[in-house]
Structure 1
Amino acid sequence: MALAQKGGPFTIKANLGADSVQKVMFVRYTLKTGQHIDTLQPVNGKLTIKGVVNEERQRDQLIVYTAHGTRSVVFYLQPGNITIDYSAEKNTYTLGGTTFNISLNRYNTMFRHLIDSLSAGKQVAANFQFSKEVQQHKFLVIKQFVLANPQSPVSIDVLDDFAIRSKEADMVQAVYDKLSPILKNSPSGIQLADRIKGMRAVGVGDMAPQFTIPDTVGKEVSLSDFKGKYVLVDFWATWCGPCVAEIPNLIKAHDKYKSKNFDIISISLDRPDSKEKWLNKIRETKMDWTQVSELKWWNGKSALLYNINSVPANFLIDPKGNIIAVNLRGEMLEKKLAEIL
């Protein structure tokens, strides 16, 4: 199975059920083109969508609004004919038509079997699939799927999804090692390898992973440029409310300790289509320390190496490059800086 896709025309034929489907949101996102949301009106629960997709492998989403609530389906947007069929009896979607979607449907079927086995004879909540009980067993499904499909891009996508929320680096590594060499050497494979490194290397007492990232004018900034200083590596984003709320505390700490061998590097996890928002927020809040971003959302190399799966997140690094504290906010940051400076 090819890892990447060639751009080309696509047709989606979706049978979304006849239970009073009111509208459908077609949500698309790629790093190159940003986010696009289209509102569509199905006829008798059926929908045909035609367009052109670029070469990026992308998982998109249909959000279906009915008289009884909402439901959604994730699928791969590929050139060719894509089929999406909803079963009201089973409350599930069947994907087909293109290679990635056939493979994803195979994984979804395995995962549904897990849900059915764990919920048999029980009264479970609607969000049972996200419960701790299910997540503990989910990895076994992923492992089984990867072993059976070591060359499928779906394998690396589902493993990466699990790794984002996991702290079990050895478990993820063991399954990663079963992927085909071609898949491991692909951009997604290299990205997952960096994430696994980050799962192992960002605790207190570890050496801080090195990075080089462009600043607001495109100049490359490296962590090594700050060697000999105490530096707070701060991960944030303009779309993150708690991150923005924390900015006054960062300003206060920077103003108070910048003359005492302390500095801040703020790394934004904004997307390519949000660059102006990022620049405007810096100006608006008057953050006058180093601001950098790869503009790759969660997929920037620095976010992977520091195993960032939520923001705000920060790491206090000593002059020798060791991580001495993590996730210091508000009074905690002030207290730690007063202690060491």
Structure 2
Amino acid sequence: MIDRKNFIYLAILCFTFLFLAINYERSDTAIKRMEQEVLVSNQLGVYKGDIAENFQLQNFNGEQLQLESFRGKKVIVNFFATWCAPCQEEMPILVALQEKVENENFVVIGVNVTKEEPNRKRVREFVEHFNVNFEVLYDDEGEVMDIYQLIGIPTTFFIDEEGKIVERINGIITLEMIKNHPFFEGRLN
């Protein structure tokens, strides 16, 4: 027969094991939750927090460029069309933005939704008219437009050095919108 003193020790030991087992299960759940959050944070996609889907398009010189080739730099990707009035309105802002950040760790890329254009000549005239000073790529088949699930143009993405989408702006951007945006770290003031 177990005496009272041994019974208390045995009860304390059982409660200790029970306490440790419960906390172990909780810690395992917390670790699984953290692992899941890491997986989600490294998910490919086209929305804020996603790793930007890579694409490859042709520039004016016929060279194929990939979004991934700009890793290590902050990238601003702007989808536009020549006939789009808001695109025309924001193009001088993007040109000015490129001038301010061109010697830093930033890149501006214009993606023309060429599938929606009458021809490439019109795109070239548009670029020349606005003195575009950044890389412009042709999305001839609308594949990138589809991948990025555009609901309208212009649409602009801010992508950090690791390729993560920091901001997705559906619609026109203004200088006031981006001037104090944390993505630019005060460089536009």
TM-score of the superposed pair, with normalisation by structure 1: 0.39
Partner deviation per Cα, 1:68-120 (whole Å, 9 max, x = no partner): xxxxxxxxxxxxxxxxxxxxxxxxxxxxxxxxxxxxxxxxxxxxxxxxxxxxx
Which residue pairs with 1:339 in the alignment?
185
The 3-state SS of whatever aligns with 2:78 is strand
Which residue pairs with 1:285 in the alignment?
130
Which residue pairs with 1:325 in the alignment?
167
Question: Which of the two has greater helix per residue?
Answer: 2
1:236 equivalent to 2:80? Answer: yes
Higher Cα radius of gyration: 2
**Which residue of 220, 223, 229 maps to 2:64?**
220
Q: CA deviation at 1:301?
A: 1.6
Q: Which runs of 5+ in 2 are unaligned?
A: 1-43
Residue pairs, 1:242-281, within 5 angstroms: 242-271=86-115, 273-281=118-126
Question: Which of the two has greater strand per residue?
Answer: 1
Q: Provide closer, same or farther for how the CA distance between residues 340 and 317 of structure 1 changes in structure 2, counting only shifts above 3 A.
A: farther
**Which residue of 155, 163, 166 maps to 1:313?**
155
Q: Which runs of 5+ in 1 are unaligned?
A: 1-199
The 1-side partners of 2:184 and 2:62 are apart by 34
RMSD of aligned residue pairs (Cα, Å): 1.7
Pick 1 or 2: higher relative contact order, CA cutoff 8 A, min separation 6.
Answer: 2
**Which residue of 128, 140, 143 maps to 1:295?**
140
Residue pairs, 1:197-216, within 5 angstroms: 201-216=45-60
Q: CA deviation at 1:340?
A: 6.3
Q: What is the aligned length?
A: 139
The 3-state SS of whatever aligns with 1:232 is strand
The 2-side partners of 1:249 and 1:214 are apart by 24
Partner deviation per Cα, 1:314-333 (whole Å, 9 max, x = no partner): 11000000000111711212
- Is the 1:253–1:333 Cα contact (8 Å) retained in structure 2? no
Q: Percent identity?
A: 27
- Is the 1:253–1:334 Cα contact (8 Å) retained in structure 2? no
TM-score of the superposed pair, with normalisation by structure 2: 0.69
The 2-side partners of 1:335 and 1:244 are apart by 23
- Is the 2:139–2:145 Cα contact (8 Å) retained in structure 1? no
